[in-house]
Amino acid sequence: MHEPFRSRLVASISLAYNFEEVKRIVESRLKVVSETPRSDGDISPFTGEALKSLYDMILSVRGTEALDNFRVFERICHFALIEGAKRGLQKIQPELMRELFEQYGLKEIPTARQRRITLRTAEEIASFKLKSVMERNEAILRGIVEGISRSTVLKGTVINKFETSYLGQVGEGNVGISSLYLDLTYEDKNISLLWILAGSKTNIIQAKDIDLVIETIRGLLGGYGYCHIILLSYVSDIEVTKINSDLFARVLRISSGLADDLIGLSIGANEDRTVLMQSFETEVVPLLSHLLARETRDITKQLSLPALEAIQTIYILGAKYETFSKETIRQINKRLFMRKAKLQDKYITEAIQAGFAEEEAGQITPAIPKAHIFLLENLEKGPIEYQKLIDKLGGAGEPIIDSALQFHLVNREGEKIVKQKLVEYESKVSGILNELRKTYENEMVKKSEPGQWIEWLLGAYETYKKNGRNYHAHIVLSAIEKLGPQILTEINKISLPLVDRAKTESEISKPVPLPVSPAETTTLPASVPSHEYEPSREVTEEVILQTVRTLGPVTIQEIESYLTKRGYEADIKSTVIGLLLRGKLKVTFVE
């Protein structure tokens, strides 16, 4: 019994041969029937290339990783000997094997994966197995591009740009590294993806090879632009179980069969691509769609105005609380930005998806988008021309820069983008900061709702500045610049007179009505939600209470006059009486 047979019987595994075993079988059978002595390793008139070509064609059509149908291989070799003798050939080359395979072998091969591809595609795939690692890697990466374009699951994905590069060999030269840079649009996101591929001549890659690949790529990343996702794939028939690296979002092993299909997608006939897509859809697309849809927590599109305000609110809360809920964000945002309605959840989600916050178990914490980290690190060395920066940042370059401009992390000076230091930004906003600090010294302002807003803003800014968290301080300072003037306007509407009001003669002659003042037991602390100062100017009970707290003991007529002048329209007297009846205001008799 010859050794290939024996090894499989002992190991009790399915009967299938690798190429070296097939060569030994051919050599053994030729020696038996030869009329003259033959040396070891002699397979003439076949060439090694001819046998390998036939071997690969059968595997490509069968969809297996080893030859499990030796009868077809044997049949084609038999016809090759006869046809070679007829043509007077000294050596049997791959061309004759392809011709005979198409004539005698293709129709007899049952496919393992219920698929059948044309002979031309099978030949092309087989020929690539004899090429260099660089050429094979290139074909596989272009197959990935073709797969993304054709995928039904990733339907709607647009590849705006792609580039492939061969990065060289690592270790003893057996493993070659290539890269694929993709700039694509998925749903409404602009995503930059870097796909690293490691391949070898033997289709065997070990843990030590992966370590060398990671070390090499880490040193080369500086030459690439910004990437939202970095993937590592390696072509190997064995899996490396432990890969320790935070450099890659995911690591994907590509089997020999999948590699063949990807090569076929890149160079094969168009009519075969539906069949070749099957393995890509089942083995690659699930991982890729997950990464594109859920793992891209970064700036990939322009941020809406409500999302920008949600980010500012998140950072203001983050200075005081370690974690907080979406509802807290909505409540504080409504008060701070003086809105009629609470912020919609979709804008908070937009902020999270852009990488400005992290969510775990329903609790939110501020975060810094990776895109902004990359941008600011590049600008540390000095100003960069806008277009060069866009090229470096990829398809999402404009929203990345625009959001940084919105928060005054950077400035645009002519055609260049410049990083703005916190001390420079603070100097520009110093007028608003000083006015808010001075205003907040008033005790009545401290007790008012606008006073609470000032406390939140200044408190958050000083906390971040003290702790050296300049990025966070920038975002809070951008909120101060925006909201400061509005807050000062609201305070001017409710501020106390600086001198006692002198009663006019007509006021003295009038009957003295019953003045009202806040009930002592119902004074609200600043932390309790109060009047939202909404543009609608609706008179609520809290508006009345805030007015009385501001003016002190007043008459109902004075309340009506005060609020009417400020644009409030409603039955003010009925609201006051309602508060009196429920004990929220008390009556004081004046002689």
195's enclosing H/E stretch is strand 189-200
List phi, psi (to 5°) of 323. Answer: -140, 160
Core vs surface per residue 47-82: b (16+ CB within 10 A) or e: eeebbbbbbbbbbbbbbbbbbebbebbebbbebbee
- The tokens of 416 are what? 């260049």
Order of all β-strands in the sheet with 416-419: 384-385, 416-419, 410-413
Architecture of domain 3-116: Orthogonal Bundle (1.10)
Give one DSSP letter per residue of 493-532, joined into a string.
HHPPPSSPPPPPHHHHHS--PPEEEE-GGGPPPTTS----
What is the structure's pLDDT at 108? 58
Q: Is-contact 56 126, C-beta < 8 A?
A: yes
Domain boundaries, the chain: 3-116, 133-294, 426-494, 505-587
What is the structure's pLDDT at 539? 64
Grouping H, G, I as helix, E, B as strand and the rest as coil, residue 94 is: helix
Rounded-to-integer distance, Cα 344 and Cα 351, Å: 12
SS3 content of the chain, % helix, strand, coil (to 5): 55, 15, 30
What is the structure's pLDDT at 510? 40
Assign domain 133-294 one CATH number from 2.50.20, 3.40.1350, 3.80.10, 3.30.43. 3.40.1350
- The tokens of 388 are what? 């060069």
Could you write out the three-class secondary structure of 141-192?
HHHHHHHHHHCCCCCCCEEEEEEEEEEEEECCCCEEEEEEEEEEEECCEEEE
* Of 258, 183, 164, residue with least CA distance to 225: 183
Q: Number of helices (H) and strands (E), helices first, in the chain? A: 26, 13
What is the structure's pLDDT at 573? 74
Regions of the chain short of the pLDDT cut 70: 1-15, 63, 105-116, 173, 494-539, 566-571, 581, 589-591
What is the structure's pLDDT at 482? 95
Could you write out the three-class secondary structure of 524-542?
CCCCCCCCCCCCCCCCCHH
What is the structure's pLDDT at 204? 85
Order of all β-strands in the sheet with 229-235: 158-170, 175-186, 189-200, 229-235, 250-254
Q: Is-contact 22 67, C-beta < 8 A?
A: yes
CA 184 from chain center: how many Å? 12
Grouping H, G, I as helix, E, B as strand and the rest as coil, residue 135 is: helix
Beta bridge partners of 178: 166, 197
